[in-house]
Amino acid sequence: MATVCGFVERIKYRNEENGYTVLSLTDEGEEYTLVGNFHYISEGEMVEATGPMTEHPVYGEQMTVETYEIKAPEDTAAMERYLGSGAVKGIGAALAARIVRRFKADTFRIMEEEPERLSEVKGISEKMAMAISEQVEEKKEMRQAMMFLQEYGISMSLAVKIYQEYGPRLYTVIKENPYQLADDIAGVGFKMADEIAKRVGIFTDSDFRIKSGVLYTLLQATGNGHTYLPETDLLSQASELLRVETESIEKHLMDMQIDKRLVIRESEGVRVVYASQYYYMEMGVARMLHDLNIRGREPEEKIRKKLLQIQKEESIELDEKQVQAVVEAVNSGLLIITGGPGTGKTTTINTIIRYFESEEMEILLAAPTGRAAKRMTEATGYEARTIHRLLEISGMPGDERSIGMHFERNEENPLDADAVIIDETSMVDIHLMQSLLKAVNPGTRLILVGDVNQLPSVGPGNVLKDVIEAGCFNVVMLTRIFRQASQSDIVVNAHKINAGESVPLGKKSNDFLFIKRDDPNMIINAMITLVQKKLPGYVGADPYDIQIMTPMRKGALGVERLNTILQEYLNPPDKSKLEKESGGVTFRVGDKVMQIKNNYNIEWEVRNKYGIPVDKGTGIYNGDIGIIREINLFAELVTVEFDEGRMVEYSFKQMEELELAYAITIHKSQGSEYPAVVIPIFSGPKMLMTRNLIYTAVTRARACVCLVGVPEVFQAMVDNEMEQRRYSGLRERICEIYDTVPQD
């Protein structure tokens, strides 16, 4: 650890957003390069900094600053140097020399206490004197605020956000109600505010603390898919978090409802509590669905006649349910089409598209993920986009909550289309559905397609299921397995799994295989053989396109352990392959990786064979899979190639957005399709080993499913109907608008 003290000669680089700065500093004639988060630091200022000295491969020796302090200039030479550096607007080197020559060591006291006297210096008017004084005072205030906040363990970058939000009021906020930070400032949660409150000396049973803890508990619940919690659950969870009795919490709920921070309702005879934004989000979605649900007046006979002509031209044959879906699509403002694999959802969508095209209607297609949109494009021959792209996402860097997103398409700038078709709707959460509906005008047809038996969305809500169960909209459920699909054991067995029926695992099959192994290491060895040797030739695919999917992240057959082992076999260390360690994981050139959070602003480009960009865009989304093509240790960049040749450069700091993807969780596979999938089947927590989880996994395979493990565990999963209960009230909100009773 080293310490340097000197003048800031030059700011070489500064990121205004987070304060990351590279600067050169002179200490007794020696020049040093310092890197770190410096906010409101100017050239000419005197800084004492501490941190380790490191050797950068390009820029040489530099200090990574851990702590620093800005020191007031102590002698006249230092004062002149600081004022002449440009740190104070309007003062150059010559004027700085005149000011210091006039006031000598008293210069800074004069600026702070008797600023009008600056006009005694030639070239400074009274107005200018006051402007200079204000700048000096503002910088002093900022520094005092930074020092005050750091006493409470607040990082410099967060301290700047707090100062920008509150200004001089921050002292009152910190000392009286630091929990306000969690409401007002992105990046501050309850736990951080609670830590600050503890240092300030705020009592455990403080009203502010309890109210903030209640909201935090509800926000945490959204991470598990809930939009509300039963009051008893909320009280017990908040009590555990806050370490106070439930009675102390209960008495605040009514006040929070009066303050419009909570909404308390009754559902099925039980009191339930919403964070108010989620209640109004559900209300808004229900209202917009109602407004879209307009009946058309086209005679059914005319539609069916035209449909027969399309079937003849396209050489397709629809069953009665599919015909009904097309008729409803023509005559409904809102239609939901649901069904399992092989029931003709794609054929139905294609026929609807052909019908709308014949009417010269403008059609837009979208899906929740890039992979699902790509599949939709391939299946329909019509361009499909992610819902985020369809709505023209506007950058909100670092904000993962859909609640903070901004879409250019909304009620004021709706989608320009006669019909919007959304596939894989089971993946759409309440946030995204609200944003989509805002951009669809009544009169535009909205068709939602999905398999209601798939896993629900990762985000809060249970949108597709709630919309269907409300019983207020046109729903066409496709159930017939078509002849071609019925020859596939993947399709047949998926329907058996969904119905809870026994699957014959010993049967000879071309596309549904079960390999018995009863030890985790033997299961892993079998999976490696399948991915490396057996399946690529069998399904005509690259080993990297064959996906291992597992129910768990942790454990002997969890994602983390599997990826470490699989990497050694599928992409072993090689002198020709550069590596970079990040977050305890070694990434090397050739690794299969997945983006694990939405990044709406990251840039990508598609290059031709000469390396020249031919297409550009922004946005890589949670679940997108790619290959590391290059690691540049000097520029500190990792280049990843995603679908359709999209090349993305990640700085080493951004590598936390990536993880190895030789194995992924079944949840992460939603909306994707692979030539072959390999699934380890071994005992695990009952709440994870469920029917809809194995159903989702099996239906991700296009040509072959390989299950490796214990047959009894597989059957136990098929028998396990337990779905983690999702507290979602959209169904009730819809029924309230229609004044009906929800269907069971």
Structural contact between residues 321 and 295, judged by C-beta atoms closer than 8 angstroms: no
Which has more confidence, 158 or 391? 391
Binding site per annotation, positions for ATP: 342-346
**DSSP state at residue 531:** I
Domains belonging to the chain, first-starting first, are 2-148 (2.40.50.140), 293-485 (3.40.50.300), 488-709 (3.40.50.300)
pLDDT of 530 over the 80 cut: yes
Q: What CA–CA distance (Å, rounded) separates 151 from 196?
A: 10
44 against 442, higher pLDDT: 442
Q: What is the pLDDT of residue 612?
A: 87
Distance CA 410, CA 396 (A): 16
At 513, the pLDDT band (50, 70, 90 cuts) reads: very high
pLDDT digits 0-9 by tens, 344-401: 999 999 999 999 999 999 999 999 988 888 889 999 999 999 999 899 987 543 343 3
What average pLDDT does the segment 426-445 reach?
Answer: 95
Q: Sorting pLDDT into bands at 50, 70 and 90, what band is 86?
A: low
Cα distance between residue 440 and residue 410, in whole Å: 8
For the chain, how big is the Rg over CA atoms in Å? 31
Q: For residue range 195-215, list pLDDT tens digits in order.
A: 888 887 778 888 888 888 898
Helix residue spans in 338-397 (DSSP H)? 345-358, 370-380, 387-390
Which burial class, exposed, middle or buried, applies to 741 when counting CB atoms under 10 A from its CB (0-12, 13-18, 19+)?
exposed
Residue 472 gets which letter from DSSP?
A: -
Tell me the percentage of the chain whose pLDDT exceeds 90: 52
What does the angle CA 446 – CA 448 – CA 451 come to, to the nearest 5 degrees?
Answer: 175
Give pairs for 86-91: CB < 8 Å, separation 24+.
Answer: 86/42, 86/43, 86/44, 87/42, 87/43, 87/44, 87/45, 87/139, 88/132, 88/135, 88/136, 89/131, 89/135, 90/128, 90/131, 90/132, 91/132
Query: Which amino acids are annotated as binding site, given as ranges?
Result: 342-346
Quote the CA–CA distance of 462 and 456 in Å, as a whole number.
6
> Do 280 and 236 contact (CB within 8 A), yes or no?
no
Give the pLDDT score at 426: 93
Of 113, 115, 77, 116, nearest in space to 97 by CA: 77
